[in-house]
Amino acid sequence: AQSVSQHNHHVILSEAASLELGCNYSYGGTVNLFWYVQYPGQHLQLLLKYFSGDPLVKGIKGFEAEFIKSKFSFNLRKPSVQWSDTAEYFCAVSWGTGRRALTFGSGTRLQVQP
């Protein structure tokens, strides 16, 4: 079965530290890649997406992600985190050009300390 892995379950950083969250997916041809963020008590919000083209994708709030096809990875990065980035981050993937359903990773809980 196709799967999405997020290896960092809980990350604690100080403000201004750099962030990189890992996401790997299982092989399956064409992929559509997403990162969502869920602030405490809120719904999921899209941070960024990749369909094709430039593998370095810029999203909202200073986040970016790089698609590395050879590594089946789509890691999320931010050069300098803020306390307000405290949230849970989900990588999500859909395979192919017809199936719309997303498979989510288990999520990474980011805690930014002031």
Partner 1 sequence: DAGVIQSPRHEVTEMGQEVTLRCKPISGHDYLFWYRQTMMRGLELLIYFNNNVPIDDSGMPEDRFSAKMPNASFSTLKIQPSEPRDSAVYFCASSRSTGVRDQPQHFGDGTRLSIL
Structure tokens at 103: 């498979």
Specify the 3-state DSSP secondary structure of 7. Answer: coil
Q: Report, in Å, the least distance between residue 43 CB and partner 1.
A: 4
C-beta of 43 vs 69, nearer to partner 1: 43
State which residue, 43 or 114, has the beta carbon closest to partner 1: 43
Contact 73, 57 (CB under 8 A): no
Q: Which residues bind partner 1 (CB under 8 A)?
A: 32, 34, 36, 42-46, 49, 51-52, 90, 94, 97-107
- Are 13 and 82 in contact by the 8 Å Cβ rule? The answer is no
Report helix, strand or coil for 95: strand
Between 19 and 93, CB nearer to partner 1: 93
Q: How far is the CB of 42 from partner 1 (least distance, A)?
A: 7
54 vs 114, beta carbon nearer partner 1: 54
What is the SS3 assignment for 43? coil
Task: Quote the least distance from Cβ 97 to partner 1, whole Å.
Answer: 4
Phi/psi for 19 (5° steps) reads: -125, 135
Six token digits for residue 77: 């990065």
CB of 87 to partner 1, least distance (A): 14
